[in-house]
Amino acid sequence: MTLTFEERLMRLAETDLNIERIKTIEKAFGNDNKNPLAVPGRALVGEGVLIKECRKKPKPRYFFLFNDILVYGTIVIQKKKYISQHIIPLNDVQIKSVNDTDNPKLRNGWLIMSPKKTFCVFATTSKEKLEWMNHISNCIEKLSNNKRKGFDQIKNIDIAPKWIPDKEADCCMRCNEVKFTMVNRRHHCRNCGYVICGDCSKNRFLLQSQSDEPLRVCYICYDTLTNNGSSNQRRITKTENNFNSTDSSDESEGEEQYHIPNPNDTKFYSISSNTRI
């Protein structure tokens, strides 16, 4: 009898090998492990290196796809140590393919969109991209089906904007006057993703889908958000005194070891440890 994707995941979650793999991942993140990954019913679907488009430049990140969450971190020692762990619930994720760029290193990409963070990742080959997108889509679909079975209401998801990379903006994208230098730093509006100067981003607004704290927004988004009067968002007055003005991201300030992605690094697991789903 042919098993469905969901049935194979359920069986995979019960295997000793799956439990061992997840515990190995927890150990690799060490003290940076934010939440227990080994929980009942969770299966490791796949893992591998993808190039993530970060704020300053694209960087390799190691991704772990589970049946309910997506986890990624910075590579310190391949297969042994990772830091800067990020956990994204798949029930809040949408994905979308993007066109190839002129840069041969930034091809086979797609967007990972969620309320807290939206970013682009790139695989080494088109086949690898298709495998990742198919497996992520299948996991999302399974979670959606389970919600419908439980008569849970399918909610509309507020997607965080994709940040425009620093290198694409020599001057502020709002005032078009301030040129960025070592003194005039780049900032990002958390509502539109534009690269903006300090004067154009003095406002803070509580975007509850992204954070429990007020976040930096440009003056145009601030006016739009406050005029909308959304009950899910709270107006913050124009002051810098009570808030941390630094941009938060998963960027590593120092030089990190660059792991060149290899398609053989990517593995998708099934009931058998040596076969793919």
The pLDDT tens digits for 204-260 are 999 888 888 899 999 999 998 888 544 344 444 443 333 333 344 455 444 454 455
Place of tokens 């954070």: 211
CA distances (Å), origin 103, targets 75, 107, 265:
23, 7, 22
pTM for the complete prediction? Answer: 0.76
Of 35, 45, 42, the C-alpha closest to 5 is 45
Task: Please answer whether residues 44 and 66 qualify as being in contact, where contact means their C-beta atoms are separated by less than 8 angstroms.
Answer: yes
In the chain, residues under CATH classification 3.30.40.10 are 166-227
Token pair listed for 183: 């003194």
The pLDDT tens digits for 141-198 are 988 876 655 444 445 567 888 899 898 899 999 999 999 998 899 999 999 999 999 9
CATH code given to domain 5-148: 2.30.29.30
Looking at 3.30.40.10, 3.30.9.10, 1.10.3720.10, 3.40.50.720, the CATH number of the domain 166-227 comes to 3.30.40.10
Q: CA–CA separation, 189 vs 222, rounded Å?
A: 10
- Spatial neighbors of 139 by CB under 8 A, at least 6 apart, are 9, 45, 65, 66, 67, 68, 90
The pLDDT tens digits for 35-46 are 889 999 999 999
**Per-residue pLDDT averaged across 261-275, rounded?**
65
